[in-house]
Amino acid sequence: MKKLLVFVVVVVALVVTSCNTGTGHLTGVQGRKAYYPEIPLGMVYIPSGSYTMGNGDQDVPFLHQSRSKVVSIHALYMDNTEITNNEWREFVVWVKDSILLEKVYQNTNNDIDEELIGDMLEHPDIYYDEVNQTWTDFQPSQPFINRGLFPLSWKMRGIKDEQIIPLISDMYLRPNERWYKRRELDTRKLNFKYYWIDLPEAAKRGRVNIVRNGNTPGPGMPGTPADPNLDPNHRELKNPVHPYTGDPVGLDRDMGWFNYKGQNNALRGHDDRSRFIIEEQINVYPDTLCWVRDFTYSFNDPMTNMYFWHPAYDNYPVVGVSWQQARAFCVWRTQKLNNWLEGLGQLWVQDFRLPTEGEWEYCARGDLKHSPYPWGGPYIRNSAGCMLGNFKPMRGRYFDDGGFYPVKAYSYNPNGYGLYCMAGNVSEWTETAFDESVYEFSHDLSPEYRYYAMDWDPPSMKRKVIRGGSWKDIGFYLQTSARTYEYQDTAKSYLGFRCVQTHIGRGGRDFSKEGGEELKSDIELR
């Protein structure tokens, strides 16, 4: 028994000793979670690589597309189809439920029968307010903390609570606005509050304007005499005022230490990061009237009435969404996934976003570096004479390719990366701002040109690159290198989008598609 006791003591001592990392050597932080990236549902992995961006041979005069350049693209994930009506409907339903949930908490003082609104009251009624450093009541206006977390019933039948019924009824159109007396949601109220980070603006650095002033002491180190030659405001960056509002554009300050000569040897920071967190609000319901607006003297009323909401079109690409709405969808999708991962105790992932123009063309080529079309080239029919995409084959013959309007998002054969309809069906938004000379000045490493236009900017500054061609375009615009534009605040019946997510890690071609984990060799080389 004594020998056993001694053995146990020795084992415990060894375990305690082995857990002690205070060896004096550089070991890095221990105990961190290992990370193995998984391919998001509905996406495919695109390995890193390089290609010749731009047209290789054919060019239309004055389109400024003849110049080409070799660029490199980091590994990423891309949706294998365009975002469908049913996927966008999940976004709409989430916003609808969250708005009603807010109304319930704001107008009932949390005095609600639990059976009426599911198990909504299981969420704590108080939480810690980190801004004010105190415990506070439940705040329904917090979009990502409190919204979309609870099951919600919209069935008014059987609900007799005099507080709940008016709140649900307020979300529907008034009787005098209804068609055929159908009880429909008032889509004007489906507004999504979100934010995004303006990293390019945060990365800007102004010029320090050091003003000599013999009467004002300067910032000296402790124990050193004050420098009479430095003004205390010398740390302010003198930026111009906004041309319309007159407010300073990006007041910035140096956050580093100064030596006794007033020289700053530290990196420049910002005194308030919140000014780079851009809060926005946007309506999330697609513009269904775009079917009528886009085509003068063309009868498209049936598509306006049915295309988005009818189950027959669930797997068709969503249209009638602006560039701004598409970016809001990416924010919501990111938060939805990260909240779920956080609940499982797992690490967050990269944000979902719109692809850059360079990424989109790289993915569309499907590892065929010099082919004009995603399926190869140079023809738009296969050997049997069948059309390889949904577009306008000949004058007025829209149905010759098998589709009159958009077709299902997984129609036709995928390209070499497993992506459907990278040519035809609907054109797709990219993150890139449109400029005819972008190939001239863009970098060869992940080329991109961004400009976040304001409402007061001229229309030419609101142009965003669209790629891929659509069901109403001729074959030229189906080429992987063909580029055109639409305005960021417009919605079209031939324009949709798909999301991408940057791969975390090296992103080599030895990525394992099975199980969604990197191979050992890839992990070792990161």
Q: Please, is 79 exposed, middle or buried when counting C-beta atoms within 10 Å of its C-beta (0-12, 13-18, 19+)?
A: buried
Q: Number of C-alpha atoms within 13 angstroms, CB side, residue 306?
A: 9
DSSP 280-341: EEEE-S--TTHHHHSSTT---HHHHHHTTTSGGGTTSBP-S--HHHHHHHHHHHHHHHHHHH
Q: Which pairs with CB-CB distance under 8 Å and at least 24 residues apart come from 229-232?
A: 229/262, 230/262
Residue 284: name the closest of 158, 193, 183, 152 by CA: 193
Superfamily (CATH H level) for 44-82+284-526: paralog of FGE (formylglycine-generating enzyme) (3.90.1580.10)
pTM over 0.85: no
Terminal alpha carbon distance of the chain: 51
Q: What is the DSSP string of 368-384?
A: -TT-SBTTBSS-SB-TT
Instruction: Give me the pLDDT at residue 246, please.
Output: 58
Return the amino acid letter for 489.
D
| 8 Å CB contact between 512 and 319 | no
Is 214 in contact with 260 (CB distance < 8 Å)?
no
Q: Cis omega before residue 317 (within 30°)?
A: no
Confidence (pLDDT) at 513: 46
Residue 240's pLDDT is: 52
pLDDT of residue 326: 97
Q: Are the C-beta atoms of residues 380 and 389 closer than 8 Å to each other? A: yes
Q: To which residue do tokens 């009818």 refer?
A: 310
Whose structure tokens read 């708005």?
Answer: 99
Query: Per residue of the chain (526 residues), what is the pLDDT tens digit?
Result: 444 444 444 444 444 444 555 678 998 888 888 777 889 999 999 999 999 888 765 555 555 555 788 999 999 999 999 999 999 999 999 998 888 877 776 665 555 444 444 444 444 455 566 666 776 665 544 443 444 444 455 554 444 456 677 878 888 888 888 888 888 889 999 999 998 888 887 776 544 444 444 444 444 434 444 444 444 444 444 445 555 555 554 444 444 444 455 554 444 555 667 777 888 899 999 999 999 999 999 999 999 999 998 999 999 999 999 999 999 999 999 999 998 888 888 888 999 999 999 999 999 999 988 888 999 878 888 878 788 899 988 787 888 887 889 999 999 999 999 999 999 999 999 999 999 888 888 899 999 999 988 888 899 999 999 999 999 998 889 999 999 999 999 999 999 999 999 998 876 654 444 334 444 444 444 3
CB neighbour list of residue 431: distance below 8 Å, 6 or more residues apart:
353, 354, 355, 356, 357, 448, 450, 464
- Please answer whether residues 276 and 266 qualify as being in contact, where contact means their C-beta atoms are separated by less than 8 angstroms: no
Residue with tokens 């003591």: 9
Find all residues with CB under 8 Å of 271, minimum gap 6, and list them: 251, 252, 253, 255
Residues of the chain within CATH 3.90.1580.10 domain(s) are 44-82+284-526
Which pLDDT score, from 0 to 100, does residue 395 have? 82
Rg of the chain in Å (alpha carbons): 29
- Closest Cα partner for 47 from 353, 428, 502, 479? 502
Distance CA 242, CA 331 (A): 28
Q: 3-class SS at 31? A: coil
The whole-number pLDDT of residue 208 equals 40
| Sheet containing 495-496, strands listed edge to edge, beginning at the edge strand earlier in sequence | 483-487, 463-467, 427-433, 495-496
